Amino acid sequence: MKIPNQETLQAWDDQHVWHPFTPHSVFREEEPLMVVSGEGNYLIDIEGRRLLDGVSSIWCNTFGHRNARIDAAIKEQMERISHATMLGNSTVPATILGKRLADLAPGDLTRVFYSDNGSTACEIALKMAYQYMHQRPDPKPEKKKFLALSNAYNGDTLGAVSVGGIDLFHERFRTLLFDVLRGPSPYAYRCDSCQGLSACGGGCLSEMERLMRAHAHELVGVIIEPGMQGAGGIITYPEGFLKGVRALCDELDILLICDEVAVGIGRSGYMFASEREGVVPDFICVAKMLTGGYIPVAATLTSEKVFEAFLGRPELGRTFFHGHTFTGNPLGCAAALAVLDIFEEENVLERLREVTIPKFEERLKALAHPNIGSVRSYGLGAGIELVADASTRRSFASSERRGMKVCRRARDLGVFLRPLSDVIVLMPPLSITNDEIDLLFDAVEKSIQNEFQG
């Protein structure tokens, strides 16, 4: 493919391409990066500049760009077949991947349903949970609602948006959505009762218990991002929060859905974030890092107990009628298998827990600036919340776009970042080196200083 020059590409992009989560009225003011290639943990733009991919291309690029093992696995699979339907059929990579995911998953999560992204993985879990309540040996048709958290983000399909709780993203579509119960987000920094403390004082779990007990008769399940809320602003949970919710689900006959799209497949320092928390949910949803950021494949894992409720002759109508054209795509499954091979053969999780995450947290704790209000981390992921006044926790006006400006400054220092409003997000590839962690944090520190100097 012949690549046009930068001016031509920018013009075509401006004329024809509608970018996600992007205010186009200011798009050109912020000079979008025109990526041509990648190498290791770096993006390379059309001018040949190398930028450390500090957000793993939106949290999905597990082991860097053009990883030789993942490239080879996809090429090898292409020589066999690139796609075949899984509607009533199967493929070798999808079958092997299902077995390996079931072996790795915590507890009794032995069944794998494939889709193509995190939104659909969560949508599937919601629909499965709802149908299970109607078809289990002791049906509970009165259970029709879900409990989700404020500040939750579980995807962009309408079911996933229904359980989402970020007004900026979701409120406009409210009349299209099904009703859910809304629990509190354990956002200690923005919680009046916690008064900006670094950890929740326990009130959020108490409120979850109140809601779950009051509505147990009608609740199908609770959906939660374990460990932290990602798109809500890298909001980390207090110790024991997820375990407390799991215990209540067990007691009250409520299903637990863990959305691990952002934190699963190693980001937490464990293969599954639920595993780090010592929790076995009824459903785990994974996507993003599953295929190394190469090809869209997602998986919804659940138990044999749930699966058995869908068994029966066709005329009984117990089938789960849901699917995607590219479900279990062989190329994507081959990439995922290569990713799991790398984890296993290169002792990735041990290195993360013993070397990479401690180094990351050391640099994070050293951050200091009058306009940094809160610093939060979970595994190899962090959020740095910028504020106009740290003493009062007063935010900047959204029109100032301080987070985006800091990230734009970081680009001039060789690091690509993308914020969540005024939260600077750091979600590097798991393959990041200690020297690259220093590059990342040096750029963040300098960019914040330059943005607020004078």
Residue 118 annotated in ligand binding: yes
Residue 157 annotated in ligand binding: no
Q: With contact defined as beta carbons under 8 Å apart, do 267 and 97 qualify? A: no
For the chain, what is the radius of gyration of the CA atoms?
22
For residue 222, what are the β-bridge partners? Answer: 147, 256
Residue 442 annotated in ligand binding: no
Residue 332 annotated in ligand binding: no
Residue 119 annotated in ligand binding: yes
Q: With contact defined as beta carbons under 8 Å apart, do 300 and 113 qualify? A: yes
Residue 189 annotated in ligand binding: no
| Cα 424 to Cα 207: distance, rounded to the nearest angstrom | 29
Q: Residue 37 carries which side chain, given as an amino acid letter?
A: S
Residue 438 annotated in ligand binding: no
CA–centroid distance for 105 within its chain: 17
User: Among candidates 154, 82, 156, 143, which has minimal Cα distance to 328?
Assistant: 82
Residue 65 annotated in ligand binding: no
Residue 359 annotated in ligand binding: no
Q: Residue 429 carries which side chain, given as an amino acid letter?
A: P
| Cα 291 to Cα 118: distance, rounded to the nearest angstrom | 12
| Cα 248 to Cα 216: distance, rounded to the nearest angstrom | 10
> For the purposes of burial, counting CB atoms within 10 Å of the CB of 397, is it exposed (0-12), middle (13-18) or buried (19 or more)?
exposed
User: Among candidates 41, 61, 138, which has minimal Cα distance to 415?
Assistant: 41
Q: With contact defined as beta carbons under 8 Å apart, do 281 and 274 qualify? A: yes
Task: Point out the annotated binding site for substrate.
Answer: 153, 288, 323, 418
Task: Point out the annotated binding site for pyridoxal 5'-phosphate.
Answer: 118-119, 259, 324-325
Task: Point out the annotated binding site.
Answer: 118-119, 153, 259, 288, 323-325, 418
